[in-house]
Amino acid sequence: MTASSVSASRIVLLGTAGGPAIQDNGQRRGPASAFVVGKDIYLVDAGEGVSRRLLEAGLSPADVRAVFITHHHFDHNSDLGSVLGHAWFARRTVPMTVVGPEFTRQYCMGFQVSQELDFRVRHSSEGKVPFWPLLTVHEFSVMDCVRSGTVVYEDDNVRVSAVAVSHGVMPSVGYRIVSRDRDVAFSGDRGGGDSFEAFARDADTLVHEAILYDRIEERFRRAGVNSEVLAHLQGDHMGPPAVARTAAESGVGRLVINHLVPGDAGEVAESEWADSFDGLFSGEVLIGRDLLDV
């Protein structure tokens, strides 16, 4: 990153629901956030509906410069292929970088294989450029990011570092994106007991997941969901008090809640989410909703 970066940075929440289920009312799509510098877009995760949300936000998949995957649960990577494909169809001519932990390269290669026939046909019959040269993959080991964080990407706009976070058996990281005028930490999915608070210290904004476990437990027990899933939800995600403590210990000024579970706005209103954080954090708290510009 150089001093020549001049464009103001902003964050757009593209998808704020957590979990693999598609929300019935369509108000929240799968996890995805955009860090935008000028025309350049840096995505954190690429959940269900991200390409459509980019367009609704006045952005284009063709302008996505890099994608940072926190972990390879389905809700976080399900539409990564969509972003890659739509950027190619929009005639992107410079490589897009995909950054992530173990299995990131395998995912990208698998997507290419799944679409190989279409890529070849359109290359030969429509004159489109080959797909694979337009994709750069940087895969890292979560074990290399355990404590202080590791720089995993840098260009003339941003510097991005990653730190390992606790999310059950799934290799997972949080990210911190620093530009000329913004410093934002993204938790990904985490259950606590890691070094994320130190990693996020003094960021201006913390984008963090949250779960209202009592609400989800009641519904899941009625539906006969097994105890292993409930244990994952309780142990590998964080409720409002724990999220607020993370924000306070990190010394951030603004806390933005995303990856909301339950994510159906018809089940838990935004006001109820706001009430769940009332009095827990002295800084600003924003309950995320799709297309919110922060």
Do 167 and 188 contact (CB within 8 A), yes or no?
yes
Q: CATH second-level architecture of 9-287?
A: 4-Layer Sandwich (3.60)
pLDDT of residue 1: 63
Cβ atoms 108, 69 nearer than 8 A: no
Strand-pair partners of 184: 177, 205
Say if residue 169 is exposed, middle or buried (CB neighbours under 10 Å; 0-12, 13-18, 19+). exposed
Report domain extents, the chain: 9-287
Helix (H) / strand (E) element for 119: namely helix 116-126
The per-residue pLDDT for 6 is 61
Instruction: Provide the token pair at 245.
Output: 């403590």
* Cut 0.85: pTM above it: yes
In DSSP terms, which residues pair with 174 in a beta bridge?
163
Binned average pLDDT, 10 residues per bin, the chain of 294 residues: 68 94 80 98 98 97 98 97 94 94 97 93 88 93 85 98 95 97 98 96 98 84 80 90 97 97 84 94 96 97
pLDDT at position 3, please? 45
Beta pairing class for 183-186 and 135-139: unpaired
Residue 214 zone, left/alpha/beta (φ > 0; ψ -120 to 50; rest): alpha
Dig out the tokens for 276 from the structure: 């769940």
Distance CA 163, CA 82 (A): 26
pLDDT of residue 24: 65
Bridge partners (DSSP) of residue 36 are 10, 41
Contact indicator for 172, 192 with CB cutoff of 8 Å: no
The CA distance from 200 to 261, in Å, is 23
Q: What angle do CA 276, 258, 18 make, to 5 degrees?
A: 100
Which residue, chain included where needed, has tokens 């999310």? 167
